[in-house]
């Protein structure tokens, strides 16, 4: 069974593009763009193992989403992308975050 990663970002096409560029990884990608979608995804998919949040969201929104995620799913790690690497840094950031998780999930024992 593939691990599930929730990608949160301001623009739907950016999140879709990230999932498409990383489709070679054995991960099921979910996306969300606002608090209501985040809540829905967290409640609908118990297999979410981590959340990666893009830098395009305002800090107050990111902070509120961290609170929502932590209160509903304290078992899920939350990873925030830096702003300095720009939008082109999102795919490499996501891959750096999830690759160890994927390798750990696939190893027996």
pLDDT in tens, 58-96: 999 999 999 999 999 999 999 999 999 988 899 999 999
- pTM of the predicted model as reported, rounded to 2 decimal places: 0.91
Q: Stretch 34-45: mean pLDDT, rounded?
A: 97
**Residue whose tokens read 């160890």:** 100
What pLDDT sits at residue 1?
82
Closest CA to 90 of 55, 41, 63, 60: 55
Is it the case that residue 106 has pLDDT exceeding 80? no
Summarize pLDDT for 2-33 with one digit per residue, the tens. Answer: 899 999 998 878 888 999 999 999 999 999 99
Q: Is 77 in a helix, a strand, or coil?
A: strand
What pLDDT sits at residue 71?
98
What pLDDT sits at residue 109?
55
- The dihedral built from the CA positions of residue 4, 5, 6 and 10, taken in this order, carries a sign that is negative
């Amino acid at each position: 069974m593939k691990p599930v990663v929730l990608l949160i970002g301001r623009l739907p096409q950016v999140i879709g593009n990230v999932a498409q560029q990383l489709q070679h990884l054995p991960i099921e990608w979910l996306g969300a763009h606002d608090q209501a979608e985040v809540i829905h995804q967290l409640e609908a998919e118990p297999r979410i193992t981590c959340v990666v949040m893009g830098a395009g969201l305002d800090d107050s929104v990111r902070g509120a989403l961290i609170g929502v995620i932590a209160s509903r799913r304290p078992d899920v790690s939350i990873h925030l992308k830096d702003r300095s690497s720009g939008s082109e840094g999102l795919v490499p950031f996501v891959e750096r975050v999830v690759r160890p998780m994927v390798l750990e999930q696939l190893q027996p024992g």
